[in-house]
């Protein structure tokens, strides 16, 4: 076994020592209240921390609770294999739990270092599987937990590792919060930039005063087709994700092509729908990256008239009202039996402004979407960095 990690702060060179969890943790059993009077806390799964417990049914006077202090480490005996670990925050100081969620005072070990170590699968799964009981009913008692091996560096190195990981968690939380805020901003804007049910115009305009016109979808789009022979030397196929999540591509290898003589080439700036999963909102507006990909007859495309901007139409088709219309236009049972009725889909009524206002609205919403994608990308990259740190900074 290695005695140093792959990733390390350059000022530390000493070997790590293999110790026991019990070398650093001391069980705390300060008697508190019964289940009737105790302010209760619980440990969330997957290292999500210690939180207040909402007891909808009250408690029992026969159940003994124990006082937990801020900074103590806790775990759930029955959910050890689901990484039910956390540290009691200041806001829950003197809250209580039963012995099924034991608490420990920590000595000579950094709390964040320890928490991040035990929430890794190679710790809690490997060590938790040695306990008695089936996987669904394993109860990890304190003695078993305290006897588990753990490799540790000097306390100073522990602190550096813990501070780095806390800093990454703070950045992830920050950008996740910004992402959530922009999602809410977008929802609010959609509600004001488009007329609500029964209204002729939206609440927010860009200096425009002309009334929005009610149109049928079939009056602003028309069928488009570019048939080609089915290739036998491999091709890139386009698919549409359900729930309005856009398009994707995958490569079809030679010999695995569809058993049909004809396919259809995708063009950019088209409205496209999967008639098999239209009821599940499998719709999109194609872009330049989609152009040239192939689809079967189950993916009809539609061109836009001069009265509709393709970016604006994207927000029309992603609306919940259109999703509901697609559901109603797809008769039959579940799954592949619910085939979209195209003529019925084209009967959908919506309201649209003049093309200039459409472009103003679409441009604003596209900018918001770009910010949403930016924050989502930052969160994903930060999570990847943290994952690499967890893999490389522990042994």
Same domain, 121 and 199: no
pLDDT of residue 3: 81
Same domain, 98 and 117: yes
144: CB partners within 8 A, 6+ apart = 130, 131
Where is the domain boundary, 151, 171, 193? Answer: 151
CA 220, CA 312: separation in Å to the nearest integer? Answer: 12
CATH number, residue 159: 1.10.287.1120
CA 391, CA 395: separation in Å to the nearest integer? Answer: 8
CA 211 to chain centre: 39
Same domain, 246 and 182: no
Same domain, 28 and 130: yes
CATH number, residue 36: 3.90.220.20
186 phi/psi in degrees, rounded to 5: -60, -45
Strand partners, 105: 26
201 phi/psi in degrees, rounded to 5: -135, 160
Same domain, 104 and 233: no
pLDDT of residue 130: 74
CA 209, CA 238: separation in Å to the nearest integer? Answer: 40
CB of 364 closer than 8 Å to CB of 227: no
Expressed as residue numbers, the domain containing 7 is 1-11+153-206+355-395
Q: Which residue from 172, 179, 166, 175 is spatially nearest to 89, judged by alpha carbons?
A: 166
Same domain, 77 and 108: yes
CB of 15 closer than 8 Å to CB of 4: yes
CA 132, CA 147: separation in Å to the nearest integer? Answer: 14
Same domain, 48 and 173: no
Same domain, 220 and 348: yes
Enter the tokens of residue 110.
């950094």
CA 112, CA 217: separation in Å to the nearest integer? Answer: 56
Same domain, 84 and 147: yes
Same domain, 24 and 82: yes
Q: Which residue from 219, 215, 323 is spatially nearest to 273, judged by alpha carbons?
A: 323
CB of 124 closer than 8 Å to CB of 80: yes
- Cα Dmax for the chain: 78
Return the beta strands (E) in 205-358 as ranges.
213-216, 221-224, 227-229, 235-240, 247-252, 262-265, 271-273, 283-285, 294-295, 301-304, 349-352
pLDDT of residue 332: 80
Where is the domain boundary, 130, 151, 172? Answer: 151
Same domain, 331 and 270: yes
- For the beta carbon of residue 165, count every other beta carbon within 10 angstroms: 18
- Does the pTM exceed 0.75? yes
DSSP 318: T
List the chain pLDDT tens, one digit each, 395 residues. 678 999 999 999 999 999 999 999 999 999 999 999 999 999 999 999 999 998 777 788 899 999 999 999 999 999 999 999 999 999 999 999 999 999 999 999 999 999 999 999 999 999 988 766 555 567 899 999 999 999 999 999 999 999 999 999 999 999 999 999 999 999 999 999 999 888 899 999 999 999 999 999 999 999 999 999 999 999 999 999 999 999 999 999 998 888 888 999 999 999 999 999 999 999 999 999 999 999 999 999 999 999 999 999 999 999 999 999 999 999 987 666 789 999 999 999 999 999 999 999 999 999 999 999 999 999 999 999 999 999 999 99
3-state class (DSSP) for residue 347: coil
- Give how many domains the chain has, as a whole number: 3
CA 388 to chain centre: 19
The single residue listed with the structure tokens 């009737």 is 36
pLDDT of residue 132: 60
CB of 85 closer than 8 Å to CB of 119: yes
Q: Which residue from 156, 111, 169, 168 is spatially nearest to 8, judged by alpha carbons?
A: 156
Enter the tokens of residue 76.
């759930």
pLDDT of residue 201: 95
68 phi/psi in degrees, rounded to 5: -115, 145
Same domain, 217 and 174: no
Enter the tokens of residue 160.
């550096």
Enter the tokens of residue 349.
């009524």
pLDDT of residue 54: 86
């Amino acid at each position: 076994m290695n005695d140093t990690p792959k990733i390390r702060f350059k000022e530390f060179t000493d070997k790590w020592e293999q110790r026991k969890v019990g070398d650093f943790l001391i069980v705390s059993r300060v008697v508190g209240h019964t289940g009737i009077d105790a302010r209760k806390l619980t440990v969330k799964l997957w290292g999500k921390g210690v939180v207040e417990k909402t007891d909808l049914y009250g408690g029992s006077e026969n159940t003994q609770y124990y006082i937990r202090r801020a900074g103590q480490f806790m775990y759930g005996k029955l959910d050890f294999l689901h990484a039910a670990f956390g540290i009691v925050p200041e806001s829950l100081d003197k809250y209580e739990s039963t012995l099924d969620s034991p608490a420990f005072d920590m000595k000579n070990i950094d709390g964040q270092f320890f928490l991040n170590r035990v929430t890794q699968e190679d710790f809690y799964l490997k060590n938790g599987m040695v306990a008695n009981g089936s996987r669904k009913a394993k109860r990890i008692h304190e003695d078993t937990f305290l006897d588990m091996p753990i490799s540790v560096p000097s306390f100073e190195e522990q602190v550096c590792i813990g501070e780095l990981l806390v800093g990454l968690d703070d950045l992830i939380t920050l950008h996740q919060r910004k992402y959530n805020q922009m999602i809410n901003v977008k929802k609010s804007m959609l509600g004001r930039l488009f007329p609500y049910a029964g209204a002729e115009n939206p609440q927010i305009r860009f200096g425009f005063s002309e009334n929005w016109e009610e149109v049928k979808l079939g009056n602003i789009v028309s069928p488009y087709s570019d048939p080609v022979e089915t290739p036998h030397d491999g091709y890139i196929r386009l698919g549409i994700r359900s729930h309005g999540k856009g398009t994707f591509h995958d490569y079809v290898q030679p010999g695995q092509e569809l058993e049909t003589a004809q396919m259809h080439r995708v063009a950019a700036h088209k409205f496209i729908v999967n008639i098999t999963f239209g009821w599940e909102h499998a719709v999109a507006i194609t872009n330049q990256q989609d152009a040239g990909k192939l689809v079967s007859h189950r993916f009809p495309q539609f061109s836009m008239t001069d009265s509709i901007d393709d970016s604006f139409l994207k927000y029309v088709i992603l609306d919940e009202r259109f999703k509901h219309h697609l559901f109603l236009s797809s008769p039959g049972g579940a799954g592949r039996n619910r085939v979209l009725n195209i003529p019925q889909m084209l009967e959908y009524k919506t309201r649209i402004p003049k093309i200039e206002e459409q472009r103003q609205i679409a441009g604003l919403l596209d900018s918001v979407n770009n910010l949403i994608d930016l924050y989502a990308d930052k969160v994903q990259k930060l999570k990847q960095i943290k994952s690499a740190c967890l893999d490389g900074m522990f042994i």
